[in-house]
Chains A and B, each alone.
Chain A
């Protein structure tokens, strides 16, 4: 056998090196830059030179009611949306988990919301929600129910946005759980049937516990994405009315690209980053514990 060349000996470093450098340059460096900016007074509109201000930005932003509201709103939106998606998604997967005519078509349909452009989805739902000409109010009125203001009112805007998120992302949970169910081994089911368990008992004591790890991973993936929800909120309400649907992501966007307060914006971005990081660490922990 011939002597391995330099490239071959260092393949494990050389092969991933370009990707590592790319991510370091485009992600790690910017995050450090944001961190550095958060200690400065930089504001594009003032024209004043950049000054080190210590923790002043943190003090100002973290005590700002608008920020605290945004934090609560971000978590409220995320938790409710993902909870509904998890329950609905799992239920639908359990229903569809059998052979039936048109199963291929049904699975294709489930894929469509996942690949639909979120901005466009938001706009379509805005047409539904329009208080004057929207279909949503028409449906309510035909059932004799009072009409709603949907995204135009501070009290109903978050639930209305949750509906959109649920429509778009429930199928993802369904598909993941379906894939998980398909991979289960037959033995425990047969054993339960031999023991004379009812359908309900099998579901509760065999099926659900067995797909639980899959459901959990899907849920955590969704949690991370839901925390970062931007497109539909930006397109549908821009954070309004007032600040009623302003999540951390939207607030950070506004501080950066509308107010140009780069120093304070950095604090908001770091906060969001921190929350997402916490959830991500959660997912990694779960993964490694599942593997062991």
Chain B
């Protein structure tokens, strides 16, 4: 009986390790390839033991202007998330307190609909307005990613805050908007962290909008990584270093705010 138990445990932990390995392996391979020379990468059979080199990172950050793309991505993501909070927090509050289900669905639609069906018209309109390759066009498009996330997460967060709090303030003579500003928002830290982290990561990873609306000046990281492959000769080491560079911030954010990210990603489904 005891023996069987130990065996069961061993099988269980083996499964856990196996699952973790499958999940982790592409990251490890990417990291190790980014430290290899081109010769080591194209060697056959593949090399597992090699002398690591940082030359690919030097190339990516030295010759390729990646720092500029890094800043572009940060600015676009930061502004899009910030403005989405400005628009999204009051909307989410209203949805929560006045149970506006239809409105919630309307905003959720922006999360569900395929981006390309607005992208083509944007492209034409932004071109006419001379807004192509400007932060304005990019931030507006990325807000359409961030806003639904903010509204969705925050409306259910506000649901969890007892309505008596602002009611007692209102009895004391405060206006509702003041109660929202002075009482509800200061209590919403965890919800805001969740929505900011998630919407920033989604903006950071966005490829399609930036591919069409950005060019030389406002190019974001995913486009830079993609271009790296498509017209430099395939310099795998450099590409892998670029891939590490683009994933690192999102992964670090995730590690720091792990609990919030899990909550944000899973709550929509669990709640239903």
Contacts and interface: CB of A to CB of B under 8 A. Distances in A.
Q: Do chains A and B touch in the complex (CB under 8 A)?
A: yes
B116 A115 contact: no
Contacts, number: 280
A: interface residue count bin: 35 or more
Contacts of B121: 29-31, 33-34, 37
B190 interface: no
A77 interface: no
A26 B268 contact: no
A121 B30 CA distance: 9
Contacts of B1: none
A123 interface: yes
Contacts of A121: 26
Contacts of B144: 23, 26-27
B60 to A, nearest CB: 12
Interface string A101-135: 01001111111111111111101111110001101
9 contacts: A19-B91, A26-B144, A33-B124, A109-B20, A124-B243, A214-B270, A230-B207, A231-B208, A256-B120
Interface of B: 12-13, 15-16, 19-20, 22-24, 26-27, 29-30, 33, 41-46, 86-88, 90-91, 93-95, 97-98, 100, 103, 105-107, 109-110, 112-125, 140-141, 143-144, 147, 151, 171, 173, 175-177, 201, 204-205, 207-208, 211-212, 221-222, 225-226, 229, 236, 239-240, 242-243, 246-247, 250-251, 253-255, 258, 261-262, 265-270, 272
Interface of A: 1-2, 4-5, 7-8, 11-12, 14-16, 18-20, 22-23, 26-27, 29-31, 33-34, 37, 92, 95-96, 100, 102, 105-121, 123-128, 132-133, 135, 138, 167, 171-172, 175-176, 178-180, 183, 213-214, 217-218, 221, 224, 227-228, 230-231, 234-235, 249, 252-253, 256-257, 262, 265-266, 269-270, 272-273, 276-277, 280, 283-284, 286-287, 290-291
